[in-house]
Structure 1
Amino acid sequence: MHPDTNQPFQIVNAHKLYNEFIDKASQEQQQEKIKELYENMIIEPVYDMCFEDGEYLYMVDFILNEAPSNFKNLEKLIEDIETENINEAIIDALNKSSKLLSTEIETTVCVFPTVEEDVPAMVNVGSGKIIALYNEFYSEEEFKASIAHEYHHSVWTEKFFQPEDTSTVLDNLVFEGKAVVFERLVYPESSYTIPIYPSYILVFWEMIEPDLYKEDLERSLEILIGSGNLPYLYGYSEGYKMVKSYLDKNPDLKPIEWLGRSADEIIEEGEYLSNYR
């Protein structure tokens, strides 16, 4: 619990469940048996704390329904995980995040190990639920900043998510842009994994502008990660610059005040489109 705000936090070290699972799963030949062990020994014990009632459960389908297979590398990773250091980093990130943006619910961070290359580093499952997929490449700075990023998503979801609402590509860019801005407010001196491209390159903008008002999650993800000819994580960079332009014109706003501002309001009041005209 944060000593100043009295906001409750919870850490679930799910990685501690894996050694016994690996011992038993390594003896099985049938994938169905391995999946059953995974569900019973890893997912079921933590489901209520880490996943239940998550607004974005579809984002963690790969965790819930895909048992790991690279047991040797996974076992080595788990041996190298320093639980105390991880917990200290999580507490630091949650404490600093909650001082800038408070929440009325408990925030739970669940730590799972991963040796896969094509999975996100962290996922917000919904209000009060953050999944940290720990891998061997994490630095402490990156880990903390990522927690702050997902914490922002968690609080936004708690306060503004409506199941019937739909999101455009622009909404999703601004949604991620807000979280990038927030993580940099929490850790202003940190090094980051999200590159921010300072130039306004018209050729890239023209690739995404026709899609901005489409309700298309797949296209949103393509732009965010930088698919095709777009730069790496281009959508995160554009989203960040949209929000930053807005905040430069409204420097006295606190995070709770711009948390729920619409994407249209962000780019219009920030005069963002003028950068491409």
Structure 2
Amino acid sequence: MRLFGVLIVLLFCTVLISFDQKSEEETLIYSYNHPETNQEFNIVHVYKLYDNYEKRIEKDSTTPKERIFEEEVIEPVVEACYQDAEYFERSGKTYSVEPPEDMELVNAIINTIDEEKINNAIKEALIESANYIPSNKATNVCIYPTPYDPDLPQMVTEGTGKISVLYTLFFDEEFLKVGIAHEYHHSVWTEKYFNRENSDTVLDILVLEGKAVMFENIVYPGNSYEDPSYPFLTEYWELVKPELNFYDAYRAYEIIYGGDDLPEDYGYNAGYHLVKAYLDSYTSLTPEEWTELSGEEIYEDGKYIEIY
């Protein structure tokens, strides 16, 4: 009888542990499907794991913070947020986030996060985006509390169906929706057209960003973070034009973010106008149709220079 009692206790404890793990996972990940196509979406609230990280570093002064962060924050979400992601693999498996230097600031960011509002905003943006271009893969959006840095992106597509949101104090629901639409386009383009064996030219990357800006303007007209009315100025294009056929992603993103001799975010707007010039000539194309076009087709057939 005593043995039976011990077995019952062990079984009960096992059930409790299993229940706790399941409850934590359900709280961490909000899952839903497109109401018509059943396309799968998951929102991963990674910031909820930062408490584990903070408690661990307070107790453990011998283990490097990088390792603790990896174990407490990254490892539980690797499958959802990074596994098999094309750009993550290409970067040498470099994560978009690092162990926070200022936990007080990170906790302040976490305290501003309204989970229900974030879920609703991302859910709407993904469904609206999928209405234009569906995906055959699940789309996972992973949210990390991140101190604002003007030199870093605030959202990143890690690869097909893997979007990282580097959530700062400046986020609001509209910014989140537009950014998700932008990154969703990158995600679907990657799913359908990314080729590990090919390198991209500066022109390819400008057009790729331009397509995402065009797409966010279609999904959320008038709410784009980039200004579609930004004027085309020949003096800036003349600086960029000689480099269009270079296979230099670093230079492409220098142009995209701007700075030095170029206005801030110059490449986003230049890319948008490259795509707009093309679509002004081919007005019947759907987002699904123009997404597959190469940078060279967009540039040459769109008569960008003649129009602007």
> Which TM bucket (shorter chain)?
over 0.9
RMSD: 1.6
Cα–Cα, structure 1 residues 198 and 39, in superposed 2: closer, same or farther, change >3 Å?
A: closer
Structure 2 unmatched ranges of 5 or more = 1-32
Compute the TM-score of the two structures, normalised by the length of structure 2.
0.85
Q: Which of 178-187 and 264-273 deviates more?
A: 264-273
One-letter amino acid of the structure 1 residue matched with residue 68 of structure 2: L
- Give the structure 2 partner of residue 160 of structure 1: 193
SS at the partner of 1:72? helix
Q: Secondary structure at the match of 2:263?
A: coil
Residue 218 of structure 1: CA displacement? Answer: 1.1
Cross-structure match for 1:272:
304
Q: Which amino acid aligns with 1:46?
A: V
* 2:116 maps to amino acid: E
Q: What secondary structure, in the 3-state scheme, does the structure 2 residue paired with 1:63 have? A: coil
SS of 1:56 mapped into structure 2: helix
Q: Distance in 2 between matches of 1:199 and 1:140?
A: 28
Are positions 1:232 and 2:264 aligned together? yes
Equivalence for 2:180: 147
Partner deviation per Cα, 1:83-130 (whole Å, 9 max, x = no partner): 111111110000000001111111111111101414211000111111
CA deviation after TM superposition for structure 1 residue 200, in Å? 2.3
Q: Which has the higher contact order (CA 8 A, sep 6+)?
A: 1
Residue of structure 2 in register with 1:54 after alignment: 85
Match of 2:16 in 1: none
2:153 to 110, 115, 120: 120
| Conservation of the 8 A alpha-carbon contact between 1:60 and 1:125 | no
Residue 68 of structure 2 corresponds to 37
* CA distance in structure 2 between the aligned counterparts of 1:150 and 1:244, rounded to whole angstroms: 19
In terms of Rg, which structure is larger? Answer: 2
Whether contact under 8 Å (2:145, 2:166) holds in the other structure is yes
| 1: CA distance, partners of 2:83 / 2:152 | 21
Rounded Cα–Cα distance in structure 2 between residues aligned with 1:63 and 1:173: 21
1:57-97 Cα offsets, whole Å, 9 max, x none, are 12972535x31111110011112211111111110000000
Contact 2:208 / 2:271 at 8 angstroms: preserved in 1?
Answer: yes
Kindly report which structure 2 residues correspond to 1:1-80, keeping only aligned pairs within 5 A, or say none: 1-26=33-58, 33-57=64-88, 58=91, 61-63=94-96, 66-80=98-112
Task: Pick from 169, 176, 180 the counterpart of residue 136 of structure 1.
Answer: 169
CA distance in 1, matches of 2:132, 2:198: 27
Runs of 4 or more off by more than 6 Å in structure 1? none
Number of residue-to-residue matches in the alignment: 273
Preserved CA contact (<8 Å) 1:177 1:236: yes
State the distance in 2 between where 1:210 and 1:46 align: 42
The percentage of counterpart residues that share the same residue type is 42
Change (3 A) 1:127 1:62: closer
Instruction: Kindly state the Cα deviation for residue 254 of structure 1 after the two structures are TM-superposed.
Output: 0.6
Normalised TM-score (structure 1): 0.94
Q: CA deviation at 1:24?
A: 2.5
What is the aligned partner in structure 1 of residue 137 from structure 2?
105
Counterparts of 1:81 and 1:10, CA distance in 2: 17
Displacement after TM superposition at 1:156 (Å): 0.5
